[in-house]
Structure 1
């Protein structure tokens, strides 16, 4: 019997060794070591999470909340360390998307006959 979890755990170990993961790991460390960048990113992330929770709960987003979120996002984007971290995350996301495409190929193949 095949234990898919053994295979996934092996893939996870390999994933950690990819250049994309290593680049993100280094970028996160750089942000964490800079107190200003770290606090700015934490605030940016908290605002994002709060707004997402409100949306999921079906609550309306207030205009002042959106303006504050936009200003915080602009400040975060102006920080070179945060920008590099986000770019590294985007590169890693591309790798994850590619892996996901490969994983769902067998499912897609099943439905190609329809």
Structure 2
């Protein structure tokens, strides 16, 4: 019987070699080399993190903060590299979600799926 950890490392390598991952990595490198894009993305991610932390602490986000986040999002979406990066992140996120669903199927046979509970 094959070792689960060996298969996990094989999956890691496969993911690292995938077009989705290599595209994402390339876009990160391009943004890191572009001072304006890097600063825009860093500011957007900082704001995102601050708002997520507030939500996790149960603090209500103000209308002004929500508008600021929306404006920041629209601004970064207008930058071609950042927009491509976000699309690449979304594609990779879908793959990781699909893989997670696949590898947890045996547990669902025992415990049922979250939707069934």
Q: TM-score surpassing 0.5?
A: yes
The yes-or-no answer on 1:59 pairing with 2:59 is yes
Give the aligned partner of residue 30 of structure 1: 30
Q: Which runs of 4+ in 1 moved over 4 A?
A: none
What CA distance in whole angstroms lies between the structure 1 residues aligned with 2:15 and 2:3? 19
Give the aligned partner of residue 71 of structure 1: 71
Higher relative contact order (CA 8 A, sep 6+): 1
TM-fit CA distance, 1:79:
0.6
- Aligned ranges for residues 6-45 of structure 1 at < 5 Å? 6-45=6-45
> Any gaps of 5 or more consecutive residues in structure 1?
none
Q: How many residues align?
A: 113
SS in structure 1 at match of 2:28: helix
Give the aligned partner of residue 84 of structure 1: 84
TM-fit CA distance, 1:6:
3.5
1:64-99 per-residue CA deviation (whole Å, 9 max, x = no partner) reads 222211111111011111000011111111211221
TM-fit CA distance, 1:4:
3.2
> Any gaps of 5 or more consecutive residues in structure 2?
none
Give the aligned partner of residue 47 of structure 2: 47
SS in structure 2 at match of 1:16: helix
Normalising to structure 2: TM-score of the pair?
0.86
What CA distance in whole angstroms lies between the structure 2 residues aligned with 1:111 and 1:35? 49
